[in-house]
Chains A and B, each alone.
Chain A
Amino acid sequence: MTAYNTIAFDPSRCELCNDCDACITACAQVKSGTDNPLHSRIKIVAGFNGNDPELALCRQCGDPECVKSCPSTALTKNPETGMIDWEKSLCVDCLLCTVGCTYGGITYNATLKHVAKCDLCDGDPACVKACPSGALTYVTSASIFNEQHEREDLFVPGLSACQGCNSEMIMRHSLRKVGPDTVLATPPGCIPGMGSVGFNGTTGTKVPVFHPLLTNTASMLAGLKKQYNRMGRNVTAMALAGDGGAGDVGFQSLSGAAERNDQVLFICVDNEGYMNTGMQASGSTSYGSWTTTTPVGSQMKGKRTGQKNLAMIMMNHNCEYVATASTAFVEDYYEKLDKALEASERGFAYLHIYSPCPTGWRFPSSQTIEVCRKGVETNFAPLWEYERGGELRFTHSIDNPLPVEAYLNLSGKYRHVSEEQLAHIQEQVNERVKTLKRFAGMN
């Protein structure tokens, strides 16, 4: 199996309504040397009734119907690049490929007198480069699959996570990458709840795993690591903790280990509350959020206080490495995991992963990654990293963010939010970015 790079389209960012057409013109120029939109292999069409625009473009399908409908073998799926290649000298212009395609991805060009389709510009698509709004992106995260899929998944296949759980993905990705020479601590929370510490006397992982108290995760790992060091074994001491186990009741041991710069890789999976025990609020729960302890009624309208910014607090411990991450930007996460793993050889490394929860936040299980993405794109959950002694560095642009509603509207926990609350949240987001920029030396 090989995964491939692809062009992604985010209609909410597309500026067709402003008659942008930049991608169409760029494609026409590259393919024909003219601005004539008829030569463009990417077409943006208006959505209905004011909806976002839609895309007609070759999807470079995995099991392509156009290839199956081609009688001349002019169309083939390239196993190296994943592209559907078209060979002019074989094509008989029968147009049967256009019957196979349901996306308008291969169409007849009356000027050229044959079909034309996207060839990804040999891996450097002109349309993506021309797109002014970031609606088109060239997604290269396939390389992660190609590099990682041979490695063993160190969690058992069956876990009792909720459908669409972001934490399960974080666990599987992280442990696969960190590897088998690991001792894992999973304090009370969703992660042991879904089975990391196992059922009926067996563990849920293929590495040693234990279940510390909420209060002592970092200190237990620090001790274990020291003992392994004495034995002369190089073992990664890793925690997968929730925001409660990291930032609320678990905070004193976390802070202590960071202050001592103990050799620990501490990953905080932040779903903004105690989702495992019935969706109670935590210090990480954001302002305005509905939880079972911050209900919505005639007086109270969700949480009245803001969330503490645990990642920034950890940065101020001046430990080896601190970063925020999101599963919608998995290449970014893998890079940070590499750096954190390396930093944990020297001292304390802390990764803070924004982890929207379909069950507790009230959004459909299919939308987890979309909520993650919008969190980043609205600057609600900015992506950055910090290395000891250096400056904070943004790893995803904080310029031109989407309005915060684009994120809030996706989750039921913000459904009741009033105009005033919305303005307050937007203000908080702006303030937080401003603070981060100061640490990044960007003022």
Chain B
Amino acid sequence: MNTTHYLIAGASHAGLEAAHRIRLVDETSPITMVTRDAHPPYSPTILPYVVSGQSEPGRVVLRKPDWFEQHNINLVSDDELVAIDEAQRQVTLKSGQQWQYEKLLLATGADPIIPPIPGLEKTPFHVLRTMQHAVALRDHAGKAKRAVVLGAGLIGMHGAENLRHAGLEVTIVEMCDQVLPGYFDSRAASVIEEAFNDNGIRMLMGSRVVEVEPEGEGCRIQLENGDSLETELLLVATGVRPQLDFLAGTSVANDQGILVDDRMRTSADNIWAAGDVTQATDFYGDKPVMMGILPDAVTQGAVAAMDMSEDHALKPYAGGVPINTYTFFGQQAISVGQSMAEDGIEELTRLDDDNRGYLKILLRDNQLHGISSINQEMDAGIMWQLILRRVDLTPVRDAFIERPLETGRALMSSTWR
């Protein structure tokens, strides 16, 4: 039986931040990290750029082996958590290794959702969540002429653009009638769609796939409206969902993800969770939400680690706020907080004449509720803090609406001193 004080399952942003935070206050207790990847730690966010060839797998390593050595962290690669015995504080890994822990952090991320499309199970297709996936997709893209991407979420949109950069004819099929639902309103989405169209990507919005079947080197995709598409390369990007089989037999409560409190504690003793695997407090509502964004994973990893290591500086998790900095064909779409007005929300929008610049501010009781922009200079981090801290904008309201960038900077700078 191996023993460790801290066991961290997962070695991406949440897990790495947790290990870093623990070492800030606890230099000696053994830390063990387990990752299913054989590749050194990387960010899932970088994968579309690996597909296009812009990023080299060897150059996007988040922590080099010497970092683990310097911080006295034992990294177990190419293995993963399969079972937890919470009474005995033991885990079993896929390889059969068993580890005894004092404190366990689950930061295992999420896996692609495979939609129940008839014929998909016998058709070769790609997903994009690991470095292996990215390299396989890149290699295939080098040989293919046409690609179809199912899903116009973040992974699908990034994947489609990068496949286009790699020289393929690309079609996106999306069930919703707009791209990036939840992050952007329909007007912002239309600017993004236009850019994709202008760059030769075919956008089939509001389209449902009813069947897929292998054909030659690739496949044929049958749409609900009767049309069909032929392609050599199919990328399925219809969202992600945590894989939670390892929780079987434990008291760790879960819904779509692992439920955690504002210290990232699960319902089981000595077990915490952080990052894409969690379903944590929503900043805007009472129901826990799946967040799945990088800066939030970092925050959750930090909160979990500070609680695990009894760091008195801990500030409880303030709740998830949707954030998206989306760049596409040299343009930028940024969204922080809610993007849709509802009752009690004041909405202020500005649109540039050429339809390329767009700004929307949502206020609730003179506090920032959400802000989204296209091709406008924007400090997303400052806007995030204004929302999280519920900064009262009453005294600077007009200035903020007129010049959110400068006003936000002045507000944050004044709180800094």
Contacts and interface: CB of A to CB of B under 8 A. Distances in A.
A73 B395 CA distance: 40
Interface string B103-146: 00000000000000000000000000000000000000000000
B379 interface: yes
Interface string A55-97: 1100000010100110111000000000000000010111110
Contacts of A93: 327
Interface of B: 13, 17, 24, 42-46, 49, 54-55, 59-62, 294-295, 298, 323, 325, 327, 330, 332, 334, 336, 375, 377-382, 384-385, 395-396, 399, 405-410, 412-414, 416-417
Nearest to B375: A110
A95 B379 contact: no
A92 B49 contact: yes
Contacts of A55: 413
Given A68-B298, A71-B46, A113-B330, A100 B410 contact: no
A47 interface: yes
Given A71-B44, A95-B332, A96-B295, 17 more contacts: A45-B406, A54-B414, A63-B24, A65-B295, A71-B45, A72-B49, A95-B380, A96-B45, A96-B325, A98-B379, A100-B295, A100-B298, A100-B381, A101-B382, A102-B381, A104-B409, A104-B413
B399 A48 contact: yes
Given A90-B59, A92-B46, A98 B410 contact: no
B37 to A, nearest CB: 15
B334 A95 contact: yes
Most buried by A among B59, B298, B379, B381: B381
The 10 closest A-B pairs by CB, nearest first: A71-B43, A54-B413, A95-B325, A71-B45, A56-B409, A54-B410, A104-B409, A101-B381, A99-B380, A71-B46
A73 B325 contact: no
A53 B414 CA distance: 9
B398 to A, nearest CB: 11
Nearest to B46: A71
A71 B294 contact: yes
Contacts of B375: 110
Interface of A: 11, 43, 45-49, 51, 53-56, 63, 65, 68-69, 71-73, 90, 92-96, 98-104, 107-108, 110, 113
Contact of A56 (B62, B336, B413): B413
Most buried by B among A47, A90, A94, A107: A94
Contact of B413 (A45, A69, A72, A94): A45
B61 A47 contact: no
B355 to A, nearest CB: 17
A71 B377 CA distance: 21
Contacts of A11: 417
Given A47-B410, A54-B409, A56-B413, A72 B379 contact: no
A437 B406 CA distance: 44
B412 A103 contact: yes
Contacts of A104: 379, 382, 405, 408-409, 412-413
A73 B60 contact: yes
A107 B395 contact: no
A43 B407 CA distance: 12
